Amino acid sequence: MAITKETVLHVARLARLELGDDEVTTMQRDLAKILEHVEELGRLDTSGVPETAHVAAEQAPLRPDLQQPSIPTDTSLAEAPRRAGGGFAVPAFVDE
Amino acid sequence: MAAPLDLTMGDLAATVARGDVPALEIAKASLDRITAGHELNAFLHVPEAPLLAAARSIDEKRARGEKLGPLAGVPIAIKDALCTHDAPTTCASRILTRRGPDGRPSTPANGWRPPYDATVVARLRAADALLVGKTNMDEFAMGSSGENSAFGPAKNPRDPSRTPGGSSSGSAVAVAGGMAFAALGSDTGGSIRQPAALCGVVGVKPSYGRVSRFGLVAFASSLDQVGPFARDVEGAARVLSVIAGEDPRDSTSAQVPLGDYLAACRRDIRGVRIGLPDEYFAEGLDPEVEEAVRRAVARLEAEGASVRPVKLPHTRYGVATYYIVATAEASSNLARFDGVRFGLRIEPEHGDLTAMYGATRDAGFGAEVKRRILLGTYVLSAGYYDAYYRKAQRTRTLIRRDFEAAFRDVDVIATPTSPTPAFRLGEKVDDPLAMYLADVYTLPASLAGIAGLSVPCGATRATSERPALPIGLQLLAPAFAEEQLFTAAAAVERLSSA
C-alpha cells in the first residue's frame, strides 16, 4: 500500500492535526513502513471469524437511575484556557 | 531494626500502624531519596506540601486511636496518566500543560489540575498510603522506552545510559531506585510488564476489568488496565488487593469477586501446571534472557510444578493486530485534546475554530502521538476499515482463542517478558517499528484481556561494556485468575534468589 503525501495530508486533516513539511515527509516514511508490517495480516484466513471489539466478559451492569451531585460549573471551568460567562469560549466558527 | 525504607512493605505498614515510626518521618525520608535520585528523571511532579500534610493526618489518626489502613505510611508513586486532585496530571504531554504568561515553554508544574482523584488513587489514600509523586512516562503511554516523554526520558537505575522501558518508565524507576515501595502504572500493551522486567522489579497487568480505570487518561479503551509495581511479589499483591474491585464509576470494571492475593503468594507451587509456548522462544530472543527464563522454569519443575509445551500459533500477528486496534482507539480517545476545555490552546491570529484545533494539536502532541493518531485515523477511514480495522478485530479473536485453548491444559504460561534486556537510550528512537517489536511478548495477553505479571528471574553477566542487567519472566493466567500468577511468581522469586 503506497502512502502518498496527499494521503498523509488527508488523514491529518481528518484528525485535525497540522503538520509541518518535514513532518509530512517523516510520517509518510514511517506510516509506509508500519503498514508494510501490518500487511502480513492479509495472509491470514479470517473468513467466518467473529470480531473482538471488546474483551469484557459480561454485559455492562446497570446502576439505579438516581440523581447525584456533579462537579460545580466553576470547578469545570477552572482549567479553561478562555471562558465567557458560564461557558468555554472559542474562536468564531460560523460566519458572522 | 532495619531503616524504615528498607523494610518489606508489610513490615513497614505494621511499624507505622503500631506507631513505632511516624508516617511523617517516612514521608521526609522518601523525599530525600527522590532528591538523591533526581538525575534519573523518574518524577514529573513531587507534591511536597500535600504529602507532608497527608503524613501528619495519618499520624494524627493513629494518635486518636483509629485503626490505620493496610498500606499505612507506605510510599507509593503514581504514573502521571492517573488523575490526582492535589497535583498536576500531564501524561508527559505539552497538550496537558499551559504556556506560562510570558510564553515560556510549558512544564509539568503548570500542568492540568484534575478536579478529582482517579478511583485507584482515592483507594490508596483511603488505605493510608503516602503518595510521593507523579511519575514520568512516554507521552500518553505511547512508547516502550520512556523517550517519548515531552519532559525528557527517565533513566534505568542499573545503567543510566539505558532505558528503563516504557511506557510506565518513571514508576519502574521509582521502585527500582528505592524512591518508593510501590508505584501504579498502566499497561495497554506491556507498559507495566516491560519496564518492570528492564528495571528488575515486579509489575502486574491485571485482567481487563479487574481494576477501575476511572480517572486514568484513556489511550486504548479496550486494552488499558491499571496495575502495581513493587519491589517484591508480596508487595505487588498488597497493592493490588487495595486497588482492585468493581467501581460504580467505571462500567468496564467487572463484578467478579477478588482473590486473596497475599495468601496466594504463600501457596505451594506443587501440582501447578505451567505451559511453555515455543512461539515465545523464537528468533530475536537474547540468549541470556532465554537461558535465565528456562532456568527459572526448571527450578519450578524441580519444586513439583509440571511443565509442558503449549501452542499459541497466532503470536506472530500480535504486533500488527495491536498497532491497528490501539491506534484506532487512540485516534478517537485523543480527539478530546482540542484546546477548548483544559490544557494548551494556540489561537492563530484571525484563525477560526478549526485553525485553533490544528495549531493546538500540532504544538501539543509529540511525534509518536501524532504518528499513532495518523495511523489510527487511516485504518478507520473510508475504504481501509475492512482491510485493517475489521481484519485486526478478527485476528484478535484468533489470539484470544489461542489462550483459551492453552489454558485448557495449563494454569499459567511462562515466557520472557522482553526479548532483550534494557537497551540504550537513543538506540531505537529513529525506528518506530523496531520499538514496536520490543513489545512482541506482552501484546498478545493485552489483546486477550488476560492477567499478566513480570517477575525478576536473574540478570545478564556483567561485561566491560555494561553492568549486569535484570531479566524478567512473564507469567500469564486466564482472566481473573491473578491468584495463580502470584503463586507462581512468589515461587520464581524465592527460587531465583536462593
The closest CB to that of B340, out of A31, A35, A88, belongs to: A88
DSSP secondary structure code for residue B144 in this structure: S
A6 touches chain B (CB under 8 A): no
- Given phi > 0 = left and psi -120 to 50 = alpha, else beta, which region is B112? beta
Q: Where are the domains of chain A?
A: 5-42
* Residues of chain B predicted below pLDDT 50: none
Interface of A with B in 48-67 (CB under 8 A): 49-58, 60-61, 63
CB of B197 closer than 8 Å to CB of B470: yes
pLDDT at B1: 54
Residues facing B134 on adjacent strands = B45, B78
Return the sign of the alpha-carbon dihedral for residues B292, B298, B304, B308: positive
* Interface-testing mutation among B341, B378, B430, with chain A (most A C-beta atoms within 10 A): B378
Residues facing B489 on adjacent strands = none
The alpha carbon of residue B55 and the mean position of all alpha carbons in its chain are separated, in whole angstroms, by 25
CA-wise closest residue to B487 among B307, B306, B297, B265: B265
Please count the residue pairs, one from chain A and one from chain B, whose beta carbons lie less than 8 angstroms apart.
167
A95 touches chain B (CB under 8 A): no
- Told to judge if B79 belongs to the known catalytic residues of this protein, a careful annotator would answer yes
pLDDT digits 0-9 by tens, B88-100: 999 999 999 987 6
Tell me whether residues B394 and A50 touch, CB distance under 8 A: yes
- Joined together, the cell numbers standing for residue B267 give 501457596
pLDDT at B105: 64
First vs last C-alpha separation in chain B: 23
Tell me whether residues B433 and A18 touch, CB distance under 8 A: no
pLDDT at B497: 76
Residues 6 or more apart whose CB falls under 8 angstroms from that of B45 comprise: B80, B87, B88, B90, B108, B109, B111, B133, B134
- Going along chain B from its start, the domains and CATH numbers come out as 4-321+389-497 (3.90.1300.10)
Which CATH class for the A5-42 domain?
A: mainly alpha
- Told to judge if B381 belongs to the known catalytic residues of this protein, a careful annotator would answer no
DSSP secondary structure code for residue B270 in this structure: T
Give the closest-approach CA distance of A65 to chain B in angstroms: 12
pLDDT at A23: 94
Tell me whether residues B375 and A34 touch, CB distance under 8 A: yes
Tell me whether residues A44 and B342 touch, CB distance under 8 A: no
A2 touches chain B (CB under 8 A): no
pLDDT digits 0-9 by tens, A48-88: 999 998 887 556 777 789 998 989 999 999 999 999 989 99
The closest CB to that of B320, out of A30, A38, A90, belongs to: A38
What's the pTM?
A: 0.97
CB of A71 closer than 8 Å to CB of B115: yes
Question: Which residue has cell 537461558?
Answer: B291
